[in-house]
Structure 1
């Protein structure tokens, strides 16, 4: 019996689908007794530390879970499932963890890094273990803001470390109890192979192979001297704009400067699930769905889009982001739904991250006028699911000015003068699919949303959209330099060299494209090859 400990905080559908894909049935843990009845127990990694531990205590799961672990029964913890094994976390001061491992989970230093640590990174394996044999050349998907460090008190548990501003614990094992900081269910074929080994009991650790010796606390912040440090890969993301066409069919489309019609008809570039599966097979590091159907009074009744998520998550084992309609609304029957209600349904349908667009602009305007009060969708969703689950999708356009003092907005000096020779511009945020400009600039929006709890910025450009001229480097550099959360560059890619350019010039964390992938003008493999030839770390399938 393979039992899934679902405590109600995020996307566990992907893990369930991965296990099913491997040919096994999954039983949900409903009661404390179900934990002790499990033959193999999966503790999925979603949400925040305090929410996870609070829910475990509320359900009466803590004591039977500790009994199960102390009996050395087959257990696989993922992300938060690893962190909860420690004594506590800086994410939730005063909330005790399970205390099976000595040490406290700490936050990555945001001043020097993009936090969350998000994307594909490698492992430095310090013990000879069947679980990871032959997989050490692969990259696995991480998404977390907090990490555990190796030390003398937990060294006998540490199976592997990963580097991000210094080493952190990425896998632990003691007997049949295993926990991973990364997400195997989101790590493509290598992740599925790792899950398969756990499910078949292929987890032995060779005797006499000790982890590296730690003699002082500062040793935990140094890489193993005989192994090179791991590197976080630059992500290549495929984006699918999804909407109903005039015949009522759900299709993938693509606009030029946000106009999706061609000769009066909505461009139809394929079916969403089929295209997503194709991009997964071709090596896309993530898939993003943007629901752009105009728009959509009752998001929770948008069953076709929810079905797209469900079906995609059954065959695509990399992260899925969904955007469009993440906001509060009242339906035709007078029922009030919060943005958190909408996000809940998207997560349960298979999304790993949700993208907030126009609502983020309105939130910034409200915060500017009244201050933050915890009521925004960003704050509510981040509090429950963690900031790594919240992406802010920004749709800016250039507004040229004669001098910086002509506007209170964040102004740059541009290499591309305006129509009247203006040497300065700011990047105005828009709403309603780019149709309406607001008095909010992209830098202010990114900073405010990051402070509210967002974990990533998806930075589009109305000016470059569909142009094939390359990304707006000035826009991306301005936003990237203003925040310490990951930034995804979007809009304008026309060839592999544009991806090399944006990563070299702006230090963006990821780059996204749509039309050139849909029309097969630029293969994802060609982008990865160009990046690798430029000396950039990439995930290769």
Structure 2
């Protein structure tokens, strides 16, 4: 694994020694196809032309940017000193994490002055996400914090009071200006955003703007002046559209960059997510199966673990089929030694070589102590997964315990895994997975937890129910409801909620609309509907009846009962915007 040239924080430095441990080759050979395709290459004409200088200060998932650059046929030179910036023939700055922490690193290493000098000389530059925001005068994120000051304006937080969910996560449309440069031909397509802060257009910065995006207000989606470009979205996570943008920047004279086909993007799209439950089978190979709170074994004489495919192969196929995100849930290996589960890290690395949409991983990300007494913080664990290719990490049981303590004490400790990871990587990088069961009650006044009138009565005619949260893969109930948990984790720093329903999972009868409406109405962060999808109509139902931002499925995709493309075609017919 490639370590960054300089560490983002002391908390991640202890991870570097883990990256070169030998992996279990018998398991690795069964992950799936690991050979990257070069069918999209835009190439370069000389050895110097083929080198891209990358400013990676060690935060978050920069592996995807590396993979996209290499996928397009270019080599990478990492910035080690400020002089490396000044000597670059083209520079990519994929900023990840918090504004203040990034500026601190740039200032301490002298990279800030080198960056300003490089850009002032109109050298080829591409900033991504935070790499755009840092060009402005200041940011309100944990601030005010002074930026590089190259573009007039202050980076502020999205306003959630108007009903728009923050963070802004998903595939949104661009409004392109006349002189958009590397954004030519992409105005009708969705690109992937994930951020809570944005820069606003003004008379002072108007000459820099090459595109805007609407999300409550019109914000700056990209800037361009001469050879200097920066985008708020993530081209390395925007599929073929994003690769075409990167290709134009890396080799403007090439006609080989694949142009995206027809598109009809006009607003934020609803997302369709493919989920892969990954565990070891009896031979020690990692396979995609069902969740471990259910029966994962075939009803045969051998009673073997159900094998629905190889993780890397399936993820690659879902990317080709049009999945907007791919989510991995490791249901066995994380529990005792998360960082010892190297094959799962390798799945992320291999998958990110050819899958250019967001990747989420979950299952046991927490503080833990190994058998030798060595303590690892949840931040260290999460850092390793981000560096291996994950864009978001999903926290389950640990978030339940954190929420319980927070509700009991009434104060934030700042020490929970949710708070630590959110503080360093931003809340947009943290998903909380909630796994509740429906509990029917005759009288809602019988308990203090939030109850709702359900659309279908209980076994004894009960008209009300509450949703009891569970931990440890659904095996243990907790005295906290899904409503209370969702509100608490949002306050603790969650940027998104993955909402499962144990009662519906695997039934194929549709999502639990009552539950999803309850939670999506209660919070201002995006909610992903999960559990129960069996037909395309179930996706349109949950989008029409709730405020869910995305819907996730597993088994129907693995068993090829319902193709992803069929879901999207159905949603389009129903007037629901999706990424084509």
C-alpha distance 45-537 of structure 1, shift in aligned 2 (>3 A): farther
When the two chains are superposed, the root-mean-square deviation of aligned CA atoms in Å is: 1.4
Deviations 1:136-195 (A, max 9, x none): 121100001111111100010000011111211101001111000100000001101110
Please list every run of at least 4 consecutive aligned residues from structure 1 whose deviation after the TM superposition is greater than 4 angstroms.
Answer: none
2:403 counterpart SS class: helix
Partner of 1:233: 269
What does residue 365 of structure 1 align with?
404
* 1:65-80 equivalences in 2 (<5 Å): 65-80=115-130
The answer as to 2:242 corresponding to 1:197 is no
Question: Is the contact made by 2:90 and 2:123 (CA closer than 8 Å) also made in structure 1?
Answer: yes
Rounded to whole Å, the distance in 1 between the matches of 2:173 and 2:358 is 17
The aligned residue for residue 221 of structure 1 is: none
Whether 1:326 and 2:365 are equivalent positions in the alignment is yes
In the aligned structure 1, how far is the partner of 2:530 from the partner of 2:176? 35
Equivalent in the alignment of 1:172:
223
Distance 1:129 1:430, change over 3 A: same
Q: Distance in 2 between matches of 1:45 and 1:514?
A: 32
Residue pair 1:171, 1:180 contacting (<8 A) in 2 also: yes
Give the Å deviation of 1:460: 0.4
Deviation at 1:396, TM superposition (A): 0.4
Alignment coverage as a number of residue pairs: 516
Q: How does 1:22-37 map to 2 (within 5 A)?
A: 22-37=72-87
- Give the Cα separation in 1 of the matches to 2:293 and 2:237: 32
Q: Return the match for 1:258 from 286, 294, 303.
A: 294
SS in 2 for 1:27: strand
Deviation at 1:283, TM superposition (A): 0.3
CA distance in 2, matches of 1:253, 1:202: 46
Tell me which residue corresponds to 2:321.
Answer: 282
Q: How many Å apart are 1:52 and its aligned residue?
A: 1.3
Is the CA contact 2:292–2:473 (under 8 Å) kept in the aligned structure 1? Answer: no
Number of the residue aligned with 2:6: none
Q: Secondary structure at the match of 2:287?
A: strand
User: In structure 2, what is the Cα distance between the partners aligned to 1:376 and 1:504?
Assistant: 35
Name the CA distance, whole Å, in 1 between partners of 2:486 and 2:81.
42
Deviation for aligned residue 1:247: 1.6
Instruction: Flag the 1:187–1:272 CA change in 2: closer, same or farther, 3 A.
Output: same
Aligned equivalent of 1:344, options 383, 389, 409: 383
| Higher mean displacement: 501-510 or 107-116 | 107-116
Counterpart secondary structure, 1:374:
coil
Q: How much has 1:26 moved relative to structure 2?
A: 0.6
Matched residue of 1:153: which SS?
coil
CA apart distance, 1:407: 1.3
Name the stretch that deviates more: 47-56 or 129-138: 129-138
Give the equivalent residue in structure 1 for 2:40.
none
Unaligned runs of 5+ in 2: 1-50, 255-263
Equivalence for 2:38? none
Shift of 1:237: 0.1
> Are 1:257 and 1:464, in contact at CA under 8 Å, matched by a contact in 2?
no
CA distance in 1, matches of 2:120, 2:319: 39
8 Å Cα contact 1:53-1:84 kept in structure 2: yes
**Distance in 1 (alpha carbons) for counterparts of 2:60 and 2:292:** 34
TM-score (norm 2): 0.87
Aligned to 1:125: 176
Instruction: Name the CA shift for 1:501/1:257 in 2 (closer, same or farther; >3 Å).
Output: farther
Match of 2:366, SS state, is coil
Q: What corresponds to 2:494 in structure 1? A: 454
Measured after TM superposition, the shift of residue 77 of structure 1 is: 0.3
In the TM superposition, residue 256 of structure 1 has moved relative to its aligned partner by 8.8
Q: Name the SS of the counterpart of 2:104 in structure 1.
A: helix
Q: 1:139 aligns with which of 174, 179, 190?
A: 190
- Give the superposition deviation at 1:423: 1.2
Gap change, CA 1:121 and 1:284, over 3 Å in 2: same
Residue of structure 1 equivalent to 2:92: 42
Instruction: Give the Cα separation in 2 of the matches to 1:255 and 1:67.
Output: 53
Flag the 1:521–1:481 CA change in 2: closer, same or farther, 3 A.
same
Please give the alpha-carbon distance, in whole angstroms, between the structure 1 residues aligned to 2:233 and 2:354: 19
Cα drift, residue 202 of structure 1: 5.1
Q: Does 1:93 find its partner at 2:133?
A: no
Render the CA deviation track for 1:413-457: whole Å, top value 9, x for unaligned. 112222222111110110010000000111111111111111000
The answer to whether the 8 A contact 2:291-2:331 is kept is: no
- Aligned partner (choices 567, 575, 579) of residue 527 of structure 1: 567
Q: In the alignment, what sits opposite 1:59?
A: 109
Greater Cα offset, 23-32 or 335-344? 23-32
* Equivalent pair of 2:103/2:147 in contact (CA under 8 Å): yes
Structure-2 residue corresponding to 1:220: none
Write out aligned runs for 1:367-446 (5 A): 367-370=406-409, 371-446=411-486
Matched, 1:243 2:279: yes
| Residue in structure 1 matching 2:506, options 445, 448, 466 | 466
Query: How far apart, in 1, do the equivalents of 2:253 and 2:208 lie?
Result: 18
Q: Deviations over 1:222-254 (max 9, x none)?
A: xxxxxx993000000000000001221100002
Aligned counterpart in structure 2 of residue 312 of structure 1, from 337, 345, 351: 351
Q: Structure 1 residue 480 and structure 2 residue 520: aligned?
A: yes
Q: Distance in 1 between matches of 2:129 and 2:333?
A: 37
Cα shift at 1:46:
1.2
Whether 2:549 is the aligned partner of 1:505: answer no
Distance across 2 between alignment mates of 1:519 and 1:130: 43
After superposition, what is the alpha-carbon deviation per residue over 1:447-495, rounded to whole angstroms, capped at 9, x for unaligned?
A: 1111111100000000000000000000000000110000000000000
Q: C-alpha distance in 1, partners of 2:76/2:317?
A: 27
